[in-house]
Chain A
Amino acid sequence: MSEHDWFRDNLDLYLAGALTQDEVARLDQHAADCAACAQELARQRLRDQQLGRLCAPVHFAGDWDQRVQARWRKSQRHVPTSVRWALAAAAVLLIGAVGAAANALVQQGMIAFPGGELLQARGPESSIDDVGNIVALVDTSESAAEHRLAENYGDVLLNVKETHTGSVMLGAGANSNNGLVGSFVINERNLARNNLRGLNTDTYHLEGMRANKDGRGAGGMEHPSSLAIIVPEGGRVKTSLTGGIIGGKSQRGAEAGVPGSVTADDTVGIRAGDATKPPVNLEGFQRHKALGLESGDVAARKDRIATIEFDRAPTWGDAVNGKAIQDVTAFSRKQSEKSRDKNDDIRELAKQQSKESAPATNAPTSSPPVGFTEGTTPLVTQSDKSRARLFYDAEDASLAKMNELRAGVEYFRAPTANDGEAIKKGLKQLDDAMGKRSGRGTGVGEKDILAQKGERKPVAEGGPSDGAAGQPEPQAQVAQRKIIRTGDMEFEVSVFDDAVAQITKLIGAIPGAFVATVNSEKLANGKVKGAVVVRVPPEGLDKFVLDLRQALGKTGELKSQKIGSSDVTKQYTDIESRLRAARTMEERLLAIIKNGKGEVKDLIAAERELGVWRTRIEEMEGEIRYYNNQVGLSTLTITVYEKEIRAAAEMVITEHVTMKIEADDVEKSLQTALTAVTEAKGRVTKSDLKQHAAGQLEATLTFQVAPAQAGAVKEKLKTLGIVTHHDAQRQQQAEGGSAPTGDIIRSRSDDVRFDVTLYNVANIQPREAYVLQLVVTDVPAEYRKLLDGVSAAKGQVRVSQLDEKDRTNTFAQLDFDVPAGQRELFDKVVAGLGEIVSRNTTRAGPGETATDRKVGYRLTLKSEASVPPRETLTLNVYSLDVPAAYRKLQDAAAQLKGQVRALNLNEQDRTNVTAQFDVDVLRVDMAALEKLLDEAGEVASRSTSRVQPGEVASDRKVGYRLTLRNQIPPRETLDLNLEVADVERTAMSLAAAVQGVKGRVTAWEGTQDASGKAVVIQLFDVPFSAKELITDQIKAIGKVRGQKIAQNLQAPEGKLATAHINVRLTNVTPIVPSDEGLWPQVRRSLGYAFTLLSVSLMFLIVGVSVLLPWALLGWLGFRLVRRIRNRRQTTPI
């Protein structure tokens, strides 16, 4: 390569600065030497520069590295994505938390807005009108749309309606014609809600009144404190408010202004909140009792309470707006000037009787229905049904003061027809209390009332003139009654004269009384009897009678008393009037005679007539005098007599003998007795002879003999037979009249009376009887043998009965009496009959009729079979072959001639064969039977029962109650829970093993569920001897999860002993299987997730709603500030 070629080839590298220094020098050298090459270099350099310029804008600046580094570092500072996510999550959480907090605040009602209480009270509840009256409130029921607020300025009243929902409706209205004005209706639904929130300090409870239109709600206050009335904070109340405050319940009860005792049940207070205006809203209500107006400062002026009573239902909008009160005020000022010196604080001011015929509707305001007249004229209220009354504080009733009235108004329920009378009564009482005469019911008009008012005077100054005039009248009426009182009394006293003296003394003490007459006479027995007639003024009679009874009662006795009265008013007045007429006639006649006119004949006739009339007059005057006398003094007749003491004249002794004699021959004995009586010169008053059944004879004999003969007769009677009863009674009786006391009383003996009964013993029970129960082998034979024996011994068979129900159960009853001499013989006979199971000897009581000549036997013969054995053995026998044992026993019983009582073999269940075998065998055969039982099986239990000693039972026999069974209770019960791999196969091998040791599989039950869990339950019975072996085998098969061993020591041991093994085989299963599928769990968690999501979303939305306005506000503020700042910067100053 030539130097030129090298030069051109490396020209690019040269320009790029890639050549080494040597090469650069070489190239520079060549360019200096070769012009063409130098030119090529220049051209190439230019081209290179051209290209470089073209690309120049992209050239890296000198500080490229720094800039890249700076920017790189800045980008490094960027928040990493993870942090951003975390921040975002935090922001979301913050928003959510804000939302949750806001939500909670709203829910708890803690977000209060300015004026919140009004907002809450409002709605249907309340409003404040222009003059500051709170005119309405109340209902909080759902149907808020139905409630309007009363906003009729100034004269707004509550207009409460009962809505169809039963709640309260408030409305404004100037129309009272709906008849519902002034009625509150409170229903229960309001109760819960009326406690308006946010009004804690000034919430008053309003008592309601019921609408009265339909009379339905006339019950008055429905629910105390059921409504709230709102009084905003202190100074804000300008005037009054309608509605009420329950004095008793309001916390500011004193301020509520309801004077006196206001009960929650019947009052509603209206409070005038402020001094500037009186309660203007009083008119909307019917009311009939006092409204309390409390003036001024309540605390200081508690004793000066004015009471207003409005009784009318005024026209809506007419006299309201404070006008009535203004009038009252004006009046009270003037009135107070007059009554300043009076002590009465309360004065009736106005009272107006309603005019029934003048309904107060829409009376014009220009002629106010509430008015007052100067002077003493009271406030007059026109009303339709009731009345108005205003009491005021007379002492301090200046206009200014009255304007400061704080009024408490009691609203009572609207009066109903039923209430009317009560109201009138109450008002009358009120009137009386006020010392006024009621003007009610007179129907007088306004002017009349006013006129009457002028005459009225307060109690303090009014004299008792009216009362004094009227008082005597009732007394005169009492005096006009003419009553005559008379009486009779009878006393038994010891001394007559003392009694008369006492009567006289008592009479002397009574003014105007005297003893009229005293009669007395001496009786045959020397006693005195007499009568005292006294005259006593009627008013003293009762007292006298009482005194007399007391005085004479000490020594004597009141035997009878009769006090009577008769009303003669009619007769008296008749006579009086006739007398007046007669006197008139007399006067006329006298006048005729005096005048002397007319003919002589007439005059004579008049004279005669006059005489007749005078006679009549005198008669009548006499009658009147008599009546006056009788009426003026009561007549009491007192009869007194002395007591008499009676004594007996002589004593009479009477003897009475009763005898019962047992005789062999009754008839003969009776004859003997009669002969004896005749010999003793006695009197036979009764004798009879009766023959009863069974040859029983009875004779009765009643006779009387002289006392001297009585003893002989008695002895004679005793010989007749055995005296079984002897009774002698002596009696002494007083006889005759009144022998003087203290004398010796004579006595005499009367004839002795005998009552004798003679009888034979044919039907008399023996004194001693033997009651025997016997067990005999052949009842009928022994029975007949006995009967023969009794008849041979001349005994008497009383009862004989043979009952042969069946061959084994025969029964005989034989009661017989034999002569006492045959007793030993019969004792032997009876003992030979058979086994005596019971023996009882009875004796007749001493009082009973019985004889010793006979002995009684009461035998009960029973066959052997009918008597139970005394001893019974109850055996439980286990036998492997029950039927065989049963049959063997049967054969044995037949062989031993046992008495089989019950037989039962039950083979229904092969594994549980039972047999019942009840047999009675003779005691001697017991051993044979026991041996048989030992062969048949094993006796598991043995119990012996004995019949109670008192009961009939045989000792010759022994009873066996055998129960045979082949189901032998296990001596040991083993529960095994095994866990094995293959349940089914294990079960099979177990069964085989059990059968190998001669055991039995009694149950085998297997289940397998869907989850693959298999359970097999096997029950084995194995011989007790093989128990250990088989248990070990079973345990070796699988894993033992549980085992339980129970031993029954009562079970048989020995050859029949068994063990019971319950095996429960399970395969390996999950320890805690899920009881719920996957899907329900997924579904439930999805549900939770969705709920949580929606709640979170809700919180987020609320949070955003809370924060967004703030963010917006902040952003706008920021923009504004920036703009202002920018403007400042740009605006030249």
Chain B
Amino acid sequence: MVSYLMVAMNDSDSTLVQRAQRGDRAAFDELVRRTSRLVFARLHLDTGDVHLAEDLLQETLLTAYKSLGQLAEPDKFRAWLLRIAANTAANAFRHDRRQKRTPPDHLRLAAGTAPEPIQRLEDEERRQQVLDVLRALPEEYRLPLWLRYFGGADYETIQAQMGLTNGSLRGLLHRGLKMLREECERAGLTH
């Protein structure tokens, strides 16, 4: 834990990447902490399946860890990581061999109140609709909005995960939320 703490919160991503490239496990753990939600968001967006996204998250992290040495520009760690996630998801689809995955109880996501089965089905359907709406939005808005609603993240968390400055995120959110509201209203998801 000491080493973990020593990986201070205020170390920049690029510093952490360089340390991880030198074999510092703690640094990579911190990087995972900083980006896991983002990667998960990305994977969930791509797959629409929570469990699959979880598996692919691990796979992505593993791949990233192994090939961290190939990362030439530590500044672009997030983009690189997301590209790996995209590739992993694409591979998963291509091989279609993710039939048997870790049991769902491995990573318990926050569940809402236990609705009735029919209600659950409806919710699921609408949730997929929301995902579709998100996917229809321009690329840059999808992840912050996903984190906002699916991830239930607050502004600071989103900022940390995205690795963005306050202004950039604010602009993104400003435009993205507006578009989302309009799209959702158009799709009849909200009133």
Tell whether, in the assembled complex, residue A54 and residue B173 are in contact, meaning their CB atoms are under 8 Å apart: no
Contact of B50 among A9, A52, A58, A71 (CB under 8 A): A58
CA distance A76 to B23 in the complex (A): 13
Contact, CB under 8 Å: A75 / B130: no
What string of 1s and 0s marks CB contacts (under 8 Å) between B80-123 and chain A?
Answer: 00000000000000000000000000111111100000000001
CB contacts under 8 Å to A, within B152-191, are 152-155, 169-170, 173-174, 177-178, 180-181, 184, 189-191
**A71 partner residues in chain B, CB cutoff 8 A:** 58, 106-107
User: How many residues of A are counted as interface, with CB atoms below 8 angstroms from the partner's CB atoms?
Assistant: 30
* Residue B126 lies at the interface, judged by CB distance under 8 Å to chain A: yes
A61 and B108 in contact, given A12-B181, A16-B173, A54-B123 (Cβ under 8 angstroms)? yes
Pair B155/A59 contact, Cβ less than 8 Å: no
Q: Knowing A47-B181, A64-B36 are in contact, say whether A55-B107 is a contact too (CB < 8 A).
A: no
B-side interface size class: 35 or more
Which of B58, B155, B191 is the one whose CB lies under 8 Å from A16? B155
Q: Which residue of B lies closest to A68 (CB)?
A: B36
Contacts of A13 in B (CB 8 A): 170, 173-174, 177
The residues of A that contact B37 with a CB separation of less than 8 Å are 60, 64
Which B residues lie within 8 Å of A1077 (CB)? none
A16 to B181, CA, bound (A): 13
Question: Given the complex, which residues of A lie within 8 Å of B189, measured CB to CB?
Answer: 50-51, 54
Q: Which residues of A contact B169 (CB under 8 A)?
A: 18
B152 engages A59 (CB within 8 Å): yes
Binds A, one of B7-15, B69-77, B143-151: B143-151
- Knowing A16-B148, A47-B191, A75-B62, the reply to whether A60 touches B110 (Cβ < 8 A) is yes
Contact with A72, one of B50, B58, B170, B177 (Cβ below 8 angstroms): B58
A window 54-96: CB within 8 A of B: 54-62, 64-65, 67-69, 71-72, 75-76
A55 touches B149 (CB 8 A): yes
A67 CB to nearest chain B CB (Å): 5
CA distance A745 to B114 in the complex (A): 188
CB distance from B3 to the nearest CB of A (A): 13
- Which A1-36 residues have C-beta < 8 A from chain B? 9-10, 12-13, 16-18
Residues from chain B with Cβ under 8 Å of A69 in the complex = 29, 32-33
A65 partner, pick from B33, B112, B123, B178, beta carbons under 8 A: B33
Distance (Å) between the CB of A51 and the closest chain B CB? Answer: 5
Instruction: Let me know if A843 is at the binding interface, CB within 8 A.
Output: no
Which residues from chain B contact A55 at a C-beta distance below 8 Å? 127, 130, 149-150, 152
Interchain CA distance A58-B107 in the complex, whole Å = 11
- Shortest B48–chain A CB gap in Å is 10
Q: Which residue of B lies closest to A44 (CB)?
A: B181
CB pair A56 B110 closer than 8 Å: yes
B108 and A51 form a contact (CB under 8 A): no
| Contact with A58, one of B58, B109, B190 (Cβ below 8 angstroms) | B109
Does B190 lie within 8 Å of A18, measured CB to CB? no
Check if B57 is an interface residue, CB within 8 A of chain A.
Answer: yes
Q: Which residues of the other chain, A, contact B50 by a CB distance below 8 angstroms?
A: 57-58
Given contacts A12-B173, A60-B152, A68-B36, contact A51 B106 (CB under 8 A): no
Q: How far is the CB of A7 from chain B (nearest CB, A)?
A: 14
Measured CA separation A52–B174 after assembly (Å): 17
Q: Is A53 an interface residue (CB 8 A)?
A: yes
Q: Please tell me if the beta carbons of B177 and A16 are within 8 angstroms of each other in the complex.
A: yes
The CA of A56 and the CA of B58, in the complex, are separated in Å by: 22
- A50 near B32 (CB under 8 angstroms)? no
Cα(A65)–Cα(B39), bound, Å: 13
The verdict on B142 contacting chain A, using a C-beta distance below 8 Å, is no
For B108, the closest partner residue in chain A by CB is A61
- A56 near B57 with CB under 8 A, answer no
**Residue in chain A with minimal CB distance to B44:** A58
Establish whether residues A58 and B151, one from each chain, have CB atoms under 8 Å apart when the complex forms. yes
Which of these, A47, A51, A52, A68, contacts B57 with CB under 8 Å? A68
Query: Which residues does chain A contribute within 8 Å of B56, judged by CB atoms?
Result: none
Given A12-B181, A68-B57, are A56 and B112 also a contact pair (CB < 8 Å)?
yes
Q: B102: nearest residue on chain A (CB-CB)?
A: A71
Contact in complex: B184, A51 (CB < 8 Å)? yes
Q: How far is the CB of A915 from chain B (nearest CB, A)?
A: 98
Q: Which chain B residues lie closer than 8 Å to A59 at the CB level?
A: 109-110, 150-152
Is the CB–CB distance between A57 and B127 below 8 Å?
A: yes
A64 CB contacts on chain B under 8 angstroms: 36-37, 107
Task: Chain B residues near A50: list those with CB within 8 A.
Answer: 189-191
Instruction: Decide if B61 is an interface residue (CB 8 Å cutoff).
Output: yes
Cβ of A54 and Cβ of B109 under 8 Å apart?
A: no
Across-interface contacts of A75 in B (CB, < 8 A):
58, 61-62
Question: Which of B106, B153, B173 contacts A60, CB < 8 Å?
Answer: B153
Report chain A residues within 8 Å CB of B57: 68
Query: Among B57, B149, B152, which residue has the most Cβ atoms of chain A within 10 A?
Result: B149
A18 partner residues in chain B, CB cutoff 8 A: 155, 169-170, 173-174
Within the assembled complex, what's the spacing in Å between the Cα atoms of A675 and B136? 194
Nearest residue (CB) in A for B153 is: A60
Closest Cβ of chain B to A661, distance in Å, is 153
Closest to A50 in B: B190
Q: Is the CB of A54 within 8 A of B127?
A: yes
Q: Which residues from chain B contact A67 at a C-beta distance below 8 Å?
A: 106-108
Residue of A nearest to B174 (CB): A13
For A60, what are the chain B residues with a Cβ–Cβ distance below 8 Å? 37, 40, 109-110, 151-153
Given contacts A12-B181, A56-B110, A58-B50, contact A17 B155 (CB under 8 A): yes
Residue of B nearest to A51 (CB): B149
| Residue contact B152 to A56, C-beta cutoff 8 Å | yes
CA distance A824 to B109 in the complex (A): 169
Give Cα distance in the complex from A53 to B152, angstroms. Answer: 9
| Cα–Cα, bound, A52→B123 (Å) | 12
Q: Which residue of B lies closest to A75 (CB)?
A: B58
Q: Are B36 and A12 in contact (CB under 8 A)?
A: no
The chain B residue with its CB closest to the CB of A78 is B62
Task: Evaluate contact between B170 and A57: CB separation under 8 angstroms.
Answer: no
Interface residues of A in 509-541 (CB under 8 A from B): none
A65 and B154 alpha carbons, distance in the complex (Å):
15
Within 8 A of A (CB), among B11-49: 29, 32-33, 36-37, 40, 44
CB distance from B174 to the nearest CB of A (A): 6
CA distance A47 to B177 in the complex (A): 12
Q: Could you tell me the distance in whole angstroms from the C-beta of A1030 to the nearest C-beta in chain B?
A: 73
A60 to chain B, nearest CB (A): 5
Cα(A9)–Cα(B178), bound, Å: 9
- Closest chain-A Cβ to B129's Cβ sits at a distance in Å of 9
A786 to B: closest C-beta gap in Å: 136
Residue of B nearest to A12 (CB): B177
Report Cα–Cα, A17/B170, bound state, in Å: 10
A539-558 to B contact mask, C-beta < 8 Å, 1/0: 00000000000000000000
Chain A nearest CB, measured from B126 CB (Å) = 5
Q: In whole angstroms, what is the CA distance A12 to B190 when docked?
A: 14
Query: When chains A and B are docked, how far (Å) is the Cα of A52 from the Cα of B37?
Result: 17
Q: How far is the CA of A72 from the CA of B33 in the complex (A)?
A: 11
Known: A12-B177, A47-B181. A53 touches B36 (CB 8 A): no
Q: How distant is B2 from chain A, measured CB to nearest CB, in Å?
A: 16
Contact between A72 and B112 (Cβ–Cβ < 8 Å)? no
Q: Whole-angstrom distance from the CB of B186 to the nearest CB of chain A?
A: 13
Q: What are 29 A-B contacts defined by CB distance under 8 Å?
A: A10-B174, A12-B173, A12-B178, A12-B181, A16-B155, A18-B174, A51-B149, A51-B190, A53-B112, A54-B127, A54-B149, A56-B110, A57-B109, A57-B112, A58-B44, A58-B150, A59-B151, A59-B152, A60-B37, A60-B109, A61-B108, A61-B110, A64-B36, A64-B107, A67-B107, A71-B107, A72-B29, A72-B58, A75-B58
6 closest A-B pairs by CB: A12-B177, A59-B152, A17-B155, A59-B110, A58-B150, A55-B150
Q: A13-B170, A13-B174, A72-B61 are in contact. List 4 more A-B contacts (CB 8 A).
A: A12-B174, A12-B181, A57-B110, A72-B32
What is the interface of chain B, defined by CB distance below 8 A to chain A?
A: 29, 32-33, 36-37, 40, 44, 50, 57-58, 61-62, 65, 106-112, 123, 126-127, 130, 148-155, 169-170, 173-174, 177-178, 180-181, 184, 189-191
